[in-house]
Structure 1
């Protein structure tokens, strides 16, 4: 009886250890460093927010929108951006891109090295900068 119990325990441990679902991990998280948040001159209902985003390999945003314009410049590495209904585009250090308000999009670092971006948002005051898209 003891041997059967030990073998059953080993089988259970083996299933848990080699099961890819059990080994699945969350993707690495983006590190966001706020730099500035100021009212937009002449438009008291809007503000400009700037930040640095550090992208570990394998990290990404998931599908989301913004309530205003997003302007991004890649400082290091590369980021793959995709607007819904469009092909993905790879942006490397020194390249910039723009996402219009309400456009569903995502960005990812699918490379093996970290990436870093400088992001500027012009959004309505009091609204979240990013809204995840639920499907």
Structure 2
């Protein structure tokens, strides 16, 4: 995965930090930023080898990421190491699969999730997609899973320094 880490604070309207940012606050943050194309469009890069991502903001309470997805790129099944989160699609269409459903997420739509949530996000369309993600507390690890007989089996744990 191609990574660009921006300074810890970027001059963007990321909203006021909230103590233990609630899912609604995270959702509002990603929706507002996804709708503000001038804030993210000049930063976007497309990488044919893997998803491109850049951290836009980080403080003690939360972090915000911008991710581009070319057709066929995806995350694999993962959790967020105990962090709550939300993501909004700014451009294109992404498909989210959790343990119970598969859904398309379109521009102007967001998904929020709690600290124990497992999902996979993919671009199954024929066009690039851009999304904005927020996590609280900031990510320290992510666990990767494989479904075996319909049950998640942890394959690996990645620490924050690995992405």
TM-score (norm 2): 0.57
2:144 paired residue number: 132
Q: Runs of 4 or more off by more than 4 Å in structure 1?
A: none
Q: How many residues align?
A: 99
Q: Any idea what the Cα deviations from partners look like across 1:28-87, whole Å, max 9, x if unmatched? A: 4111111011012xxxxxxx0101010111000000001211110100000100111x12
Q: Which runs of 5+ in 2 are unaligned?
A: 1-47, 146-153, 156-163
Q: Which runs of 5+ in 1 are unaligned?
A: 1-26, 41-47
Distance 2:105 2:53 in 1: 19
Distance 1:50 1:94 in 2: 17
1:79 paired residue number: 94
Equivalent pair of 1:78/1:91 in contact (CA under 8 Å): yes
1:102 paired residue number: 116
- If each structure's strand is expressed as a fraction of its own residues, which one has the higher value? 1
2:39 paired residue number: none
TM-score (norm 1): 0.68
Larger radius of gyration: 1
Matched, 1:89 2:97: no
Q: Displacement, 1:100?
A: 1.6
Distance 1:113 1:61 in 2: 17
